[in-house]
Amino acid sequence: MSYNIPNVEDFKYIAPKNPLPGVRWIERKKVNLNDINYDANLNKIARLNGVNPAHTKALEESYKAGVDTSKPLPVLEKTAGLFEKYAPVDYFHRGRAQQNLGWKEYVFDIYEFADEKARVSFQLLMNDHPPQGVASTDDIVQAGIKLIQKTKLTKSEPAVTKWVKMIAPKKHASTRGNIVKKICQQTKTRQAWVTYSKKDLEKFYDNYGQGMTKGGAFDITRDKYGYDVQTKYESTYATRALKRLSESGKKSYFLLHTDSPIKNKDGHIMRTDMLRRLKGIEESLKYFVKWYNKHKKMPWEIVGFLPQEDGEDETKIIKTTRYEKKI
């Protein structure tokens, strides 16, 4: 089957000229695929799990329907010599798909890279997008670890944080924070403020928890229920503690755990905010008791349900009567 490969001037995508430090766009040109060193795709540190066959197949089907000239082009590294083959940089799954289709040539953006850090960082940046083939958290973590081991990335939390933000700007801030944490932990890089994974928390309780419990488990020694409470979940665990009190008459204790510090709010401010929110909950509960003792009823009213079931009158609120009988 023959395919119509667009010419250089047909592609509308505007390639970034200097997207990262040490990365420079050189030209856009049509390249014979035999002039590409596909072996350079092997053992890429920015690709943990290798080629995804499903993604490759999806690309093949997409190519059969035609080339989308508005999308980013695959990237090759500028050759050092006249007879040297091009090294693929951002041409992983697309390279395999085009080989499978028997293509002879294609249009590429040619870039120059100052070093391995620039090359790997560019690969990750160009794959920081939602479709299949996106650079995964594990891809970035592995790349960060390898760059630190090769002394291409400074072994410090600020340097790792800056690098992750640079190559994964579209990922959620909390996801980037988790990536930084994993890189720092696996390279034994000191962190200014540590957050605890489920495994980390288990280890802390086992080694330093002095017999305390978590997750609402009963602490026989202290005759209380224990909870580990994370930032923004104060109300949730306060409610659970109240429920335990009503069921057993037993009190609870909280061990607090903040999120990673954010811009203009360091860890100490976050701790203060957690205590302030818990204090607000306590004051609200005290006022609730006072109010209830005076009025002998709850300080809210349930007016009904929204009409959600097929066939219900969409203009009317559903009464609670039929459900109250089942409580």
Q: What CATH number has the domain bearing residue 115?
A: 3.90.1530.10
Both 126 and 206 in a single domain? no
Q: Does residue 76 lie in a domain region?
A: yes
pLDDT, residue 130, reads 60
Q: What is the pLDDT of residues 262-272, one digit of tens each?
A: 778 889 999 99
Q: Does residue 299 lie in a domain region?
A: no
Both 205 and 125 in a single domain? no
- Asked if pLDDT for residue 283 goes beyond 70, the answer is yes
Residue type, 202: E
Taking every pair of C-alpha atoms in the chain, what is the biggest distance, in angstroms?
Answer: 91
**Residue range of the domain that includes 32:** 8-135
- Domain boundary, last residue among 94, 113, 135: 135
For residue 324, which phi and psi values (nearest 5 degrees)?
-60, -30
At which residue do the structure tokens 């080694």 appear? 207
Instruction: Say how many domains are in the chain.
Output: 2
Q: What is the pLDDT of residues 136-169, one digit of tens each?
A: 899 999 999 999 999 999 999 999 999 999 999 9
- DSSP letter string, 258-324: ----BTTB-HHHHHHHHHHHHHHHHHHHHHHHHHHHHHSS-S-----B---STTS-TTSPBPSHHHH
Reading the block at residue 48, the tokens are: 């943990």
- Domain boundary, last residue among 111, 135, 159: 135
Q: Could you give the strand order of the β-sheet that contains 224-230, starting from the edge strand earlier in sequence? A: 217-219, 224-230, 252-257
Q: What is the pLDDT of residues 49-95, one digit of tens each?
A: 777 888 889 999 999 989 999 999 999 998 867 678 999 998 888 99
Q: What is the pLDDT of residues 167-218, one digit of tens each?
A: 999 988 878 888 998 999 999 999 888 888 888 899 999 999 999 999 999 9
